[in-house]
Amino acid sequence: MSTLFLSAVATLVFCAPGYPGAAGDAQPFVDQFAKAAATSAGWSAGSLAATYDPTDQGGLMQLRSSDSVLTFVPYAFYVQYGAQLHLAVLAQADVSDVGTQERWTLVAKAGGGVADAASMAGYTIVSAAGYAPEFVKHVALQTWQLPADVKIETGQVLGALRRVTAGEKVVVLLDQTQSAALPTLPFAAQLKTLMQSAPLPVAIVAVVDARVPAARAKAFQMALLKLSAAPGGADALSALHLKGFVLPQLPAAGAPAGHTGKP
């Protein structure tokens, strides 16, 4: 689609499927972020609104609106839907206590029947990224050739781990924060790590379907990179558990098919 001029009020859509948090709870923080970023980019006051959706389908619905010009999403969402939405990545998030990259860890029952990909026939993979099977199969688990009958589901990690220890045919794919918390569980000794992914981006900010003119997109990108030093920027970042942003360094294996991911 050809580049569109920004409407009177454009929207930055935050979408974090698979993670806890309701839209109402997040709204003040995404509003604060949008205001600080737009001001830093030199956009006029009130020209950028923000919205948050905790589901992939809800986020997709919002991003199909012509007013939705930017999005902030987990890397898994980008892999799954980036080509469909024509996302052009501006920046990569530097997340507090995680960084700009994270490893995903596949966990199974200790002493159970899963030792490699071939032994996962008939199993279900549960993950916060379960809504993004392309990410799970071809990015996080790209070194494994999964059997055709493996199912992938989105689910609450703690409940899924209990299913693992109960002997159900379930394995769990954890992000880095979840994996770091694993040793604190009372049943941690009943779990084992099967494999870890290569380091992968945590989250990205992107232009949607070329709806921001190139010069304005560049200004917004520069604003993101310097946001921690901008007025109100540090507070806006901290409220979303962010340290800042860096230029995108996306692995080739994670690029949506037929799409470079660059503006």
3-state secondary structure of 52: strand
pTM, 2 dp: 0.92
Confidence of residue 254 (pLDDT cuts 50, 70, 90): low
Give tens-digit pLDDT for 103-129.
999 999 999 989 999 999 999 999 999
pLDDT at 18: 76
Q: How far apart are CA 105 and CA 107, in angstroms?
A: 6
Q: What is the pLDDT of residue 23?
A: 59
Cα–Cα distance for residue pair 194/179, rounded to 1 Å: 12
8 A C-beta contact, residue 208 and residue 68? yes
Q: Please report the pLDDT score of residue 252 as a whole number.
A: 81
CA separation (Å) from 96 to 38, 228, 237? 22, 13, 9
Per-residue pLDDT tens over the stretch 160-206: 999 999 999 999 999 999 999 999 999 999 999 999 999 999 999 99
| Residue ranges of domains in the chain, CATH in brackets | 10-98+201-254 (3.40.190.10), 104-196 (3.40.190.10)
- Secondary structure (3-state) at 10: strand
Residue entry with tokens 């009372």: 186
Cβ neighbors of 24 (< 8 A, separation 6 or more) are: none
Please list the helix, strand and coil fractions of the chain in percent, rounded to the nearest 5, in that order: 35, 25, 40
Rounded average pLDDT over 33-37 = 97
Q: Is 188 helix (H, G, I), strand (E, B) or coil?
A: helix
Structure confidence at residue 243 (pLDDT): 97
- Could you tell me whether strands 151-154 and 101-102 are parallel, antiparallel, or unpaired per DSSP bridges? unpaired
Instruction: State yes or no: pLDDT of 7 exceeds 60.
Output: no
The chain-wide mean pLDDT, for the chain, equals: 92
Q: Which of 2-16, 94-108, 219-233 is predicted with the least confidence, judged by mean pLDDT? A: 2-16
Alpha-carbon gap, residue 134 to 132, rounded angstroms: 5
Q: What is the 3-state secondary structure (H, E, C) of 151-187?
A: EEEECCHHHHHHHHHCCCCEEEEECHHHHHHHHHCCC
Does residue 4 have a pLDDT over 50? no
